[in-house]
Amino acid sequence: MDLPIFVAPLIILLIIWYLTFSATRLDRLHQRVETSWANLDAILQRRASLALELTHFPETDPAGNLLLTSAAHHARAADISVRSEAESSLTAALLLLRQESWLVEKYPDLFEELDQITERLKVGISLHVEGVSAARARRSKLIYRIFRLAGKAPLPVRYAFEDDSLVEVQR
Amino acid sequence: MKIGLISPYAWDVPGGVQAHIRDLAYHYLDQGHEISVLAPASDENSIVENFVVSAGRPVAIPYNGAVARVLFGPVAASRVRQWVAGGDFDVLHLHEPAIPSLSLLACSIAEGPLVGTFHAAAPRQKVTFAIAPFLEPVIEKLRARIAVSEIARETLRIHLDTDAVVIPNGISADFYQRAEANPAWSRELTIGFIGRFSEPRKGLNILLEALPKIALVLPDVRLLIAGPGDGMEAMESVNPALRSRIRFLGRIDDDAKASFLKSVSVYVAPNTGGESFGIILTEAMASGVPIVASNIPAFSQLLEDGKYGLLFENENASDLAEKLIRLLKDKELARGYSELGIQYAKRFDWTQVGDEIMNVYLHARGEDEKVTLLSEARPWSRLFTRGEEE
């Protein structure tokens, strides 16, 4: 039978197609994570600069101001290895400030902006976390590992601050 | 921002998804965004909105206990392709991308900032598991997924193994709150019901079964029913002595709906299932009418387990009768629900919901990114053009 002669190249073509198809899927997931991180990063930066504005109140005590200023500076300057910790402490410091209702009433605009940023942060974090888990789940599949379909793309990671800011935001 | 919206269902047939898209489109137009909507249409001339583009005539298929008018096939695909290519969109917002219609087509041929909203809630279905492997790579391209309720989110998780952000459907809370009552409809002890009552899942038969029990205690009770369908046929099961208490209004428009809700003393939603959100309940709350609803998951969730309305046991006519009697008799209870409802409904106003959806758009989009057609990026075409790209 010469059937296998026709079938063999067909199967090889099919495998090649499937591999490129799979690689494209993963590539797209990586792209999704990159976009969502870039957007999340931009909002975190905005939050840090807003936090610095919030330290200019004459009414707040110096200790609180110091805490917030240093947290905001840390969050802006921190490199990626300590970034998560810096964002967590900024979240905590902002949450403390947000509880001062008399201050909120006195500066409604700034706090409204803070609430908006917090809202956007919430969406940004859940999209980023979702993208990261989707990409990681795909990368861990056997075929992706055998054929190294991820190439040189770094493994997407989620950060610890994402979990605790989500929890505190939803409270 | 230039936003493209796609409706999977026929634009000229009333439905929750179409209404949602229309209201969202108007909301963003008011904010100064550019909007284009692509939808199937049985009759192109019936489209009044100038931002809606017809993709052709839909076909009717049974879906989730109702008839869905959807559109697919090569001609539709080329229409979608043209619309996407010519649209130069910043964001493409696809509604119900998991059902075989325009949104799924668009999702498979476009690339970039794609956002999908999942409206439906369906129980586990074997057929979905059969098509999931084909659907998954397409749905995966969505940069962000929105589910309209926790139930819709759960459906998505079970069927397609993917998570979503929950953003509820929107209403114009003001419109319902400011509406005027219609003297012809408003009287004491009037129960209101709106919906396509000929569909069994809307639960009219349970309400009709409860009616004699209510009439025993409250002889003056009246039932107002609005929505498309044959009223005479629905009446057949009703005791002739009670028929005078029931009035069918036929299909009513949005203005009439708002004054209907303002007029009746109680709104009842006896749906037996297939609901994912329950937009009518938020509209009823916005107008300040107290609600009795079945305890199906969507309603329990929306009314927070009875905090914002009385829940009765699904498909239990005696329980429904008891709850309706309680609410009709107890003015204090009714007023409490009414006041709570008006406050709660503000959460569903477009000003709030529109901002939340816009947040998702902003997150789905990279800097200066546009929606493009996929054809240039297909693996095999890339294989051959790799040299040129570099």
Cα A60 to the chain's mean position, in Å?
Answer: 31
User: Which residue type, as a one-letter code, is found at position B252?
Assistant: I
Q: How far is A61 from chain B (nearest CA, A)?
A: 34
Structure confidence at residue A152 (pLDDT): 83
For A123, the closest of B363, B366, B377 (CB atoms) is B363
Structure confidence at residue B284 (pLDDT): 96
- What does the angle CA B135 – CA B139 – CA B140 come to, to the nearest 5 degrees? 115
Please name the residue of chain B whose CA is at the shortest distance from the CA of residue A32: B143
Q: Per the structure block, which two tokens stand in for A59? A: 């009414």
Check pLDDT > 90 for residue A160. no
Structure confidence at residue B375 (pLDDT): 65
**Quick check: A119 contacting B, CB < 8 Å?**
yes
Instruction: Tell me the chain B residues in contact with residue A28 when contact means C-beta distances shorter than 8 Å.
Output: 111, 140-141
For B383, the closest of A20, A34, A133 (CB atoms) is A20
For B360, the closest of A24, A32, A123 (CB atoms) is A123
Domains identified in chain A, total number? 1
The enclosing H or E element of B34 equals strand B34-39
How close are the terminal C-alpha atoms of chain A, in Å?
Answer: 70
For residues B103 and B100, give the distance between their C-alpha atoms in angstroms, rounded to a whole number. Answer: 8
Residues B182-209: tens digit of each pLDDT: 988 887 899 999 998 988 889 999 999 9
**Quick check: B162 contacting A, CB < 8 Å?**
yes
Query: Which stretches of B13-149 are DSSP H helices?
Result: 16-30, 74-87, 102-109, 126-139
- A163 vs A40 pLDDT, higher one: A40
Residues A59-86: tens digit of each pLDDT: 777 877 888 888 888 888 877 777 888 8
Structure confidence at residue B387 (pLDDT): 40
* DSSP-derived secondary structure for B287-352: HT--EEEE--HHHHHHTTTTTSSEEE-TT-HHHHHHHHHHHHH-HHHHHHHHHHHHHHHGGGBHHH
Residues 74-113 of chain B whose Cβ lies under 8 A from any Cβ of chain A: 111
- Choice among A18-22, A157-161, B140-144, B277-281 with the minimum mean pLDDT: A157-161
Mean pLDDT by 10 residues, chain B (390 residues): 95 90 96 96 88 92 76 90 94 93 93 93 66 84 94 88 91 93 87 91 93 93 91 84 90 93 96 90 96 95 95 96 95 95 95 95 91 68 45
Of A16, A30, A32, which to mutate for an interface test with B (greatest number of B Cβ within 10 Å)?
A32
Tell me whether residues B380 and A17 touch, CB distance under 8 A: yes
Instruction: Tell me the chain A residues in contact with residue B162 when contact means C-beta distances shorter than 8 Å.
Output: 130, 134
Structure confidence at residue B388 (pLDDT): 39
**Quick check: B153 contacting A, CB < 8 Å?**
no
Tell me whether residues B379 and A127 touch, CB distance under 8 A: no
What residue numbers bound the domain in which B324 lies?
A: 173-347
CB A129 within 8 A of CB A162: yes
Q: How far is A88 from chain B (nearest CA, A)?
A: 21
Check pLDDT > 60 for residue A168. no
CB B140 within 8 A of CB B114: no
Q: How far is A137 from chain B (nearest CA, A)?
A: 11
For residues B98 and B100, give the distance between their C-alpha atoms in angstroms, rounded to a whole number. Answer: 7
Of A29, A41, A45, A127, which to mutate for an interface test with B (greatest number of B Cβ within 10 Å)?
A127
CB B359 within 8 A of CB B91: no
The enclosing H or E element of B225 equals strand B222-226
Is B383 found in the same domain as B262?
Answer: no
What residue numbers bound the domain in which A70 lies?
A: 3-170
For residues B263 and A112, give the distance between their C-alpha atoms in angstroms, rounded to a whole number. Answer: 38
- What does the angle CA B69 – CA B2 – CA B357 come to, to the nearest 5 degrees? 70
Q: How far is B135 from chain A (nearest CA, A)?
A: 13
**Quick check: A24 contacting B, CB < 8 Å?**
yes
Nearest to B360, CA basis, from A108, A95, A160, A36: A36
Average pLDDT, integer, range A115-132: 90
Residue located via tokens 């040299």: B387
For residues B207 and B30, give the distance between their C-alpha atoms in angstroms, rounded to a whole number. Answer: 40
Q: Per the structure block, which two tokens stand in for B136? A: 């998954």
Of B90, B359, B360, which to mutate for an interface test with A (greatest number of A Cβ within 10 Å)?
B359
Strand partners, B269: B293
CB B7 within 8 A of CB B105: no
Number of A–B residue contacts, CB under 8 Å: 59
For A39, the closest of B141, B163, B362 (CB atoms) is B362
**φ, ψ of residue B225 in degrees (nearest 5):** -120, 125
Is B201 found in the same domain as B85?
Answer: no
User: Which residue type, as a one-letter code, is found at position A15?
Assistant: I
Please name the residue of chain B whose CA is at the shortest distance from the CA of residue A126: B165
Structure confidence at residue B176 (pLDDT): 95
Domains identified in chain B, total number? 2
SS3 B192: strand
CB B265 within 8 A of CB B277: no
Average pLDDT, integer, range A13-32: 91
Structure confidence at residue B385 (pLDDT): 46
**φ, ψ of residue B26 in degrees (nearest 5):** -65, -40
Structure confidence at residue A67 (pLDDT): 83
How close are the terminal C-alpha atoms of chain B, in Å?
Answer: 32
Is B284 found in the same domain as B325?
Answer: yes
pTM of the predicted model as reported, rounded to 2 decimal places = 0.87
Structure confidence at residue B322 (pLDDT): 96
For A25, the closest of B140, B365, B382 (CB atoms) is B140
Q: Per the structure block, which two tokens stand in for B180? A: 């005027």
Structure confidence at residue A83 (pLDDT): 82
What are the angstrom distances between the C-alpha of A12 and each of A1, A7, A8, B221?
Answer: 19, 9, 6, 74
Instruction: Tell me the chain B residues in contact with residue A20 when contact means C-beta distances shorter than 8 Å.
Output: 379-380, 382-383
Is B308 found in the same domain as B192?
Answer: yes
Is B294 found in the same domain as B190?
Answer: yes
What are the angstrom distances between the C-alpha of A170 and each of A133, B147, B169?
Answer: 21, 18, 20
What are the angstrom distances between the C-alpha of B39 and each of B47, B89, B119, B220, B231?
Answer: 10, 16, 16, 46, 31
CATH number of the domain where residue B245 is located: 3.40.50.2000
Q: How far is B377 from chain A (nearest CA, A)?
A: 9
Cα B18 to the chain's mean position, in Å?
Answer: 8
Is B180 found in the same domain as B36?
Answer: no
Structure confidence at residue B380 (pLDDT): 52
Query: Which stretches of B10-117 are DSSP H helices?
Result: 16-30, 74-87, 102-109
Instruction: Tell me the chain B residues in contact with residue A119 when contact means C-beta distances shorter than 8 Å.
Output: 355-356, 359
The enclosing H or E element of B91 equals strand B91-95
Tell me whether residues A127 and B363 touch, CB distance under 8 A: yes
Is B293 found in the same domain as B157?
Answer: no
**φ, ψ of residue B305 in degrees (nearest 5):** 55, 35
Tell me whether residues A119 and B367 touch, CB distance under 8 A: no
Instruction: Tell me the chain B residues in contact with residue A40 when contact means C-beta distances shorter than 8 Å.
Output: 363
Average pLDDT, integer, range A21-37: 91
Is B271 found in the same domain as B178?
Answer: yes
